[in-house]
C-alpha cells in the first residue's frame, strides 16, 4: 500500500514522499524494509530513542508524539502513538474483523477456558472458526500455533495480520481472548466485536491499572464496543454493565437469563441443567471444577446468539476435550495435574476443587512471576498454598529480572502468617516438580500450578524452552 493511501484513510497530513508500505510496528527490532515505525512512549522507555535503529533496518516513515531533529524519511506527528499504531494496522490489513463475527472474552479468570469452549462450539456447529488465546492461536483446521511473545492478546499489528490470515483461510467466526492490558494499551482498537463476554473481576494487575475501578474501566471497554454483551449475573462488576442495550446474563442467580441448576460434579466431569430463554436442557461437560459451569454458560449464551441450536451445543459440550494445561490430569497414582492457575483466587479455586476427590494429601508446586508482573500477589499466593494444600513447594515462574530469592521470600512471608509449617522453597522448577512427585503417596494429588501450556521459562535474561507436562511425566518415570 502507498503511504499516502494509508495516511488519507486516517486523515493524516501527506508528506512529499510516497513510498510503498509493507508493515507497521512499534518495535525497532522488528522493523523490516518498507515498514512504518511507530515510536511509542512506553512504561519503561521511549520508542523515539530507537528511531535510528528503525531507520537502519529500513523504516520508510516514522510516526510519533514529538521529535526534534531531521529525519531522512517522513515523520508524522500524532496525539496518540498507540492509537495510530492500531489504526495503521487496521487499514494496512483492510479491517479483517469487519469480515468476521468476532467474539471477545474478558474478565480476570476463565477467559481462556471460555474462549476454547466457544471456539469448540462454533466448530462443532460447522462454522469455520479461529481462536486467539493465551495458549496460542487456532485456525479452522484445529491446528494450534504458538505466539512468539507470551501475551494473552498480542499487539495490534499482530492481531490484525492474524485476523487477515484467518479471513484468507475462509474463517467466518473468531474468538479473541481480550486482556485488560490490551484494552488499556489499545491493542484491540479498531476490532469490530459482534459479541463481548465478561466473565468476572477480582483483584489482579492492580500495579498496572491503579485500583479496581481502573481495572474495571479497562475491561468494560470490550462490552461498550460489542454489539451484543454476555454478562455474568453473579459478578458485581459485570452487573454494572447490564445497561448495555443488547445483552444477556448467565450464572446461578435466580435472575440470570442463562441459569444453571442441579449442578453435580462427578469424577468424570460436570452435569447440570440450563434454564434459558431458549428452553430447559441438560448439559454434560467433561471438565473438573464448578467454575467451569460459568465458563460453559457464557459460551452457550454467546454461541446461541450466533445462531447455534441447543442440540448442537449439548453435543459440542459433551465432546469438549478441555484446554491444554488447564486441570490436565497426567496420572492417577499419585494424581498429577497441570493447571495454569496463577492468581490467588484461581489457585484457591483449583485447590478447593481438588480437595474432595483427594483421599490422601494435596500438594501444590507454585511460583510467582517476576519483573513488573504484579509483585503484590506473591505473598497472597503463598498464603493460599499453605492454607489449602497439605504440602506447598514454592519455586520459580518466569522470574525475569527479579532475583528468585526475593520472590520466594515474599511467598514464604505469606505462608508463614498461618504458622502451618507446611511449605518448602526449591528455586529450580524441575527439581521442585521432581521433589513433589517423588514424595507424594499413591492416594495424593500433586497440583503443578502456574505454567500450564506455556512453552518457555523466563529466568533473568534467559528464555528457556519449557514443557510442564513433559517435566511431570519425566518426574513420574524416575
Ligand atoms: C506492561 C505492558 O503491558 N507493556 C506493554 C507496553 O509496553 P511499553 O509501551 O511499556 O513498552 P516499553 O518497554 O516502555 O517500550 C516503549 C516502546 O519502545 C519500543 N522499543 C523498545 C526497545 C527497543 O529496543 N526498541 C523499541 O522500539 C517498544 O517496542 C515500545 O513500543 O506496550 C507494548 C506494545 O503494545 C507491549 O508489548 C508491552 O507488553 C509487554 C511485553 C507485556 O509483558 N505485557 C503483559 C503484562 C501483558 O500485556 N499481559 C496481558 C495479559 C495479562 C493477564 O490477564 O494475565 C496480555 O494481554 O498478555
Ligand atoms: N470462571 C472462573 N472463575 C474463577 N476461576 C476460574 C474460572 N475459570 C477458570 N478459573 C480458574 O482460573 C484458571 C485459569 O483459567 P483460564 O485460563 O480460563 O483464565 P484466564 O482468564 O484465561 O487467565 P489467563 O489469561 O491468564 O489464561 C483455571 O485453571 C481455573 O483454576
Instruction: Summarize the confidence of residues 32-46 as an average pLDDT.
Output: 96
Ligand 1 centroid vs 194 CA: distance in angstroms? Answer: 27
In three-state secondary structure terms, 46 is strand
Instruction: Summarize the confidence of residues 203-215 as an average pLDDT.
Output: 88
pLDDT digits (tens, 9 = 90+) for 93-118: 999 999 999 999 999 999 999 999 99
- Of 470 and 148, which is predicted with more confidence? 470
Q: Whose CA is nearest to atom 52 of ligand 1?
A: 179
Q: Whose CA is nearest to atom 18 of ligand 1?
A: 47
Ligand 1 centroid vs 451 CA: distance in angstroms? Answer: 20
Binding-site positions for ATP read 107-113
Ligand 2 atom with least separation from CA of 107? 21
328-477: same fold as 3-92?
no
pLDDT band with cut points at 50, 70 and 90 for residue 175: very high
- Of 3 and 265, which is predicted with more confidence? 3
pLDDT band with cut points at 50, 70 and 90 for residue 160: very high
**The CATH fold of domain 3-92:** 3.40.1390
Handedness of CA 280, 286, 291, 295 (dihedral sign): negative
pTM of the model: 0.84
What is the full DSSP assignment across 63-115?
Answer: EES---S--SS-EEE-S-HHHHHHHHHHHHTT-GGGGSEEEEEESSSSHHHHH
* Residue 70 in grid coordinates: 531531521
Question: What is the homologous superfamily of the domain 96-318 according to CATH?
Answer: Mur-like, catalytic domain (3.40.1190.10)
φ, ψ at 232 (rounded to 5°): -80, 110
Ligand 2 atom with least separation from CA of 109? 21
Q: What is the mean pLDDT of the chain?
A: 94
Q: Does residue 135 carry a pLDDT above 90?
A: no
The per-residue pLDDT for 267 is 62
For the stretch 376-400, what's the b/e string if a residue is b when 16 or more beta carbons lie within 10 angstroms of its beta carbon? ebbbbbbbbbbbbbbbbbbbbbbbb
The per-residue pLDDT for 149 is 72
Is 110 touching ligand 2 by the criterion CB < 6 Å?
Answer: yes
Q: Whose CA is nearest to atom 53 of ligand 1?
A: 179
Reported as type and span, the H/E element at residue 209 is helix 206-209
| Distance (Å, whole) CA 348 – CA 227 | 34
Ligand 1 centroid vs 357 CA: distance in angstroms? Answer: 41
Closest ligand to the CA of 453: 2
Ligand 2 atom with least separation from CA of 326? 29
Instruction: Summarize the confidence of residues 145-163 as an average pLDDT.
Output: 88
| Distance (Å, whole) CA 201 – CA 343 | 12
ipTM computed for the complex: 0.95
| Distance (Å, whole) CA 183 – CA 180 | 5
Ligand 1 atom with least separation from CA of 182? 57
Percent of the chain with pLDDT over 70: 99
pLDDT digits (tens, 9 = 90+) for 373-404: 788 999 999 999 999 999 999 999 999 999 99
Ligand 1 centroid vs 184 CA: distance in angstroms? Answer: 12
Ligand 1 centroid vs 291 CA: distance in angstroms? Answer: 31
Beta bridge partners of 106: 198
Ligand 2 centroid vs 32 CA: distance in angstroms? Answer: 37
What is the full DSSP assignment across 408-473?
Answer: HHHHHHHHHTTT---EEE-SSHHHHHHHHHHH--TT-EEEEES-TT--EEEETTEEEE--HHHHHH
Instruction: Summarize the confidence of residues 281-304 as an average pLDDT.
Output: 94
The per-residue pLDDT for 9 is 87
Instruction: Summarize the confidence of residues 214-243 as an average pLDDT.
Output: 97
Instruction: Summarize the confidence of residues 41-69 as an average pLDDT.
Output: 95
The architecture (CATH level 2) of 328-477 comes to Alpha-Beta Complex (3.90)
Q: Does residue 266 carry a pLDDT above 80?
A: no
Is 112 touching ligand 2 by the criterion CB < 6 Å?
Answer: yes
Q: Does residue 92 carry a pLDDT above 70?
A: yes
Residue in 31, 29, 11 with CA at minimum distance from that of residue 21? 31
Q: Does residue 415 carry a pLDDT above 70?
A: yes
Instruction: Summarize the confidence of residues 231-249 as an average pLDDT.
Output: 97
Is 346 touching ligand 2 by the criterion CB < 6 Å?
Answer: yes
Closest ligand to the CA of 110: 2
Binding-site positions read 28, 107-113, 152-153, 179, 187
Q: Please give the torsion angle defined by the CA atoms of residues 223, 181, 118 and 86, in that order, rounded to the nearest 10 degrees.
A: 80
Question: Which residue's entry shows cell 520508510?
Answer: 60
Q: Does residue 261 carry a pLDDT above 70?
A: yes
Pocket of ligand 1 (CB under 6 A): 26-29, 40, 42-45, 47, 50, 151-153, 155, 179, 181-182, 185, 187, 208
Q: Report the largest interatomic distance among the alpha carbons of the chain, rounded to a whole angstrom.
A: 75
The per-residue pLDDT for 268 is 65
Q: Does residue 325 carry a pLDDT above 90?
A: no
Q: Whose CA is nearest to atom 4 of ligand 2?
A: 109
Angle at 145 between CA 143 and CA 150, to 5 degrees: 150
Ligand 1 centroid vs 151 CA: distance in angstroms? Answer: 9
In the chain, where are the structural domains located?
Answer: 3-92, 96-318, 328-477
Ligand 2 atom with least separation from CA of 341? 13
The per-residue pLDDT for 356 is 86
Q: Does residue 254 carry a pLDDT above 80?
A: yes
**Is 320 in contact with 312 (CB distance < 8 Å)?**
no
pLDDT digits (tens, 9 = 90+) for 326-359: 888 888 899 899 998 999 999 998 999 999 888 8
Ligand 2 atom with least separation from CA of 202? 4
Amino acid at each position: 500500500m502507498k503511504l499516502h493511501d494509508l495516511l488519507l484513510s486516517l486523515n493524516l497530513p501527506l508528506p512529499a514522499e510516497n513510498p510503498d508500505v509493507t508493515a507497521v510496528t512499534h518495535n525497532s527490532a522488528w522493523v523490516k524494509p518498507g515498514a512504518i515505525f511507530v515510536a511509542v512512549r512506553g512504561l519503561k522507555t521511549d520508542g523515539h530513542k530507537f528511531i535510528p535503529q528503525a531507520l537502519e533496518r529500513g523504516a520508510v516513515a516514522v510516526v510519533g508524539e514529538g521529535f526534534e531533529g531531521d529525519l531522512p524519511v517522513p515523520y508524522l506527528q500524532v496525539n496518540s502513538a498507540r492509537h495510530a499504531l492500531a489504526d495503521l494496522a487496521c487499514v494496512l490489513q483492510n479491517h479483517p474483523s469487519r469480515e468476521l463475527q468476532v467474539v471477545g472474552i474478558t474478565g480476570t479468570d476463565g477467559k481462556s477456558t471460555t474462549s476454547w469452549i466457544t471456539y469448540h462450539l462454533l466448530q462443532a456447529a460447522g462454522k469455520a472458526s479461529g481462536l486467539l488465546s493465551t495458549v496460542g492461536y487456532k485456525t479452522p483446521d484445529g491446528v494450534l500455533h504458538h505466539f512468539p511473545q507470551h501475551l494473552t492478546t498480542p499487539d495490534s499489528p499482530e492481531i490484525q495480520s492474524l485476523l487477515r490470515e484467518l479471513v484468507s483461510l475462509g474463517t467466518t467466526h473468531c474468538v479473541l481472548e481480550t486482556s485488560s492490558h490490551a484494552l488499556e494499551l489499545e491493542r484491540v482498537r479498531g476490532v469490530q466485536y459482534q459479541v463481548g463476554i465478561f466473565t468476572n473481576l477480582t483483584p489482579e494487575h492492580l500495579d498496572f491499572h491503579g485500583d479496581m475501578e481502573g481495572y474495571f474501566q479497562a475491561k468494560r471497554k470490550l462490552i461498550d464496543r460489542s454489539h451484543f454483551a454476555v454478562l455474568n449475573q453473579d459478578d458485581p462488576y459485570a452487573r454494572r454493565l447490564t445497561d448495555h442495550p443488547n445483552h444477556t446474563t448467565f450464572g446461578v442467580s435466580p435472575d440470570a437469563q442463562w441459569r444453571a441448576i442441579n449442578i453435580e460434579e462427578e469424577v468424570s466431569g460436570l452435569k447440570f441443567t440450563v434454564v434459558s430463554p431458549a428452553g430447559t436442557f441438560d448439559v454434560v461437560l467433561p471438565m473438573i471444577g464448578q467454575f467451569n459451569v460459568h465458563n460453559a454458560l457464557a459460551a452457550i449464551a454467546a454461541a446461541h446468539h450466533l445462531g447455534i441450536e441447543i442440540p448442537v451445543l449439548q453435543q459440542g459440550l459433551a465432546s469438549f476435550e478441555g484446554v491444554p494445561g488447564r486441570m490436565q490430569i497426567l496420572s492417577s497414582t499419585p494424581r498429577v495435574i497441570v493447571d495454569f492457575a496463577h492468581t490467588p483466587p484461581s489457585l484457591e479455586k483449583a485447590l478447593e476443587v481438588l480437595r474432595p476427590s483427594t483421599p490422601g494429601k494435596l500438594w501444590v508446586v507454585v511460583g510467582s512471576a517476576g519483573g513488573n508482573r504484579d509483585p503484590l500477589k506473591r505473598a497472597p499466593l503463598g498464603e493460599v498454598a499453605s492454607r489449602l494444600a497439605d504440602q506447598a513447594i514454592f519455586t520459580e515462574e518466569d522470574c525475569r529480572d527479579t532475583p528468585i530469592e526475593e520472590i520466594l521470600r515474599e511467598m514464604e512471608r505469606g505462608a508463614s502468617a498461618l504458622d502451618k509449617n507446611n511449605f518448602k522453597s526449591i528455586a529450580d522448577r524441575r527439581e521442585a516438580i521432581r521433589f513433589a512427585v517423588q514424595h507424594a503417596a499413591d492416594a495424593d494429588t500433586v497440583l503443578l500450578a502456574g505454567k500450564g501450556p506455556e512453552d518457555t521459562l523466563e529466568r533473568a535474561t534467559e528464555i528457556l524452552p519449557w514443557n510442564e507436562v513433559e517435566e511431570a511425566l519425566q518426574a513420574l518415570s524416575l
